[in-house]
Amino acid sequence: MNPFSLSGRVAMVTGCNKGLGQAMAVALAEAGADVVGVNRTSADTTRERVEAHGRRFFDVETQLGRTAPGDIVTRAIAQAGKLDILVNNAGTIRRAPALEFSEQDWDDVINVNLKAAFFLAQQVARHLVDREAAGRIVNIASVLSFQGGIRVPSYTASKSGLLGLTRLMANEWAAHGITANAIAPGYMATDNTQALRDDPQRSAEILGRIPAGRWGSPEDLGGALVFLCSDAAAYVNGHALAVDGGWLAR
């Protein structure tokens, strides 16, 4: 049996209508999983790409941070029948100097990136425990889970907190057969980094530090995610896997 196969499993992926989330949803489908997408808007392109691999796609349109996580999980299970995997990918970012950063920008980021991620994981874990089923939780952290960054105080705080919560989840839920790990993407070519890539000086500074010499692509995360969700990673727990082209090694 292929230890990397996800056949027969259902994965919930938040924020998968484009970018990193879409690429990860497709990678899970390629490995055999059905996918529940949790998005603010419809994810028609993701649906098409998932179904092209012969897998089912279920759409839960909602806004994280404003909808009760229990309701999201209930809606997902009503469509898919069960959940085996949660990928906490949805996130937002606000940029401003720390001396000028607003409380609203702090709350907007923390509510989605940290609070919603924890309580969604809590609901999925309860579902797994009730089923007496093993499961996988993968939180999408960041290289800023390890570094301070600049001009992104709430994002840095949320991603640092998410890494800490990943370790807590691993400690508490391993006894139930649930693993919790994180992927820490580096500088990826997504909407969140568009402003940086459009700034010639800042882009050059970033690329100059990445040993791989390029921005990451969403597809670069697929292999890491499938591994952490698979039986091949059954004894990997509380770990943060950096997918950063070598950024943290520099």
Active site residues: 155
Kindly list the distances between the CA atom of residue 72 and the CA atoms of 68, 124, 227, in Å, as whole numbers in the listed order.
7, 10, 26
Report DSSP letters for 185-212, one per residue: E-SBSSGGGHHHHTSHHHHHHHHHH-TT
State the virtual CA torsion across 126, 132, 138, 139 in degrees, nearest 10. 20
Q: Strands of the chain (E only): list them.
A: 10-14, 34-39, 57-61, 85-88, 135-140, 178-185, 240-243
**Token representation of residue 207:** 């690329």
Cα four-point dihedral sign 36, 38, 44, 45: negative
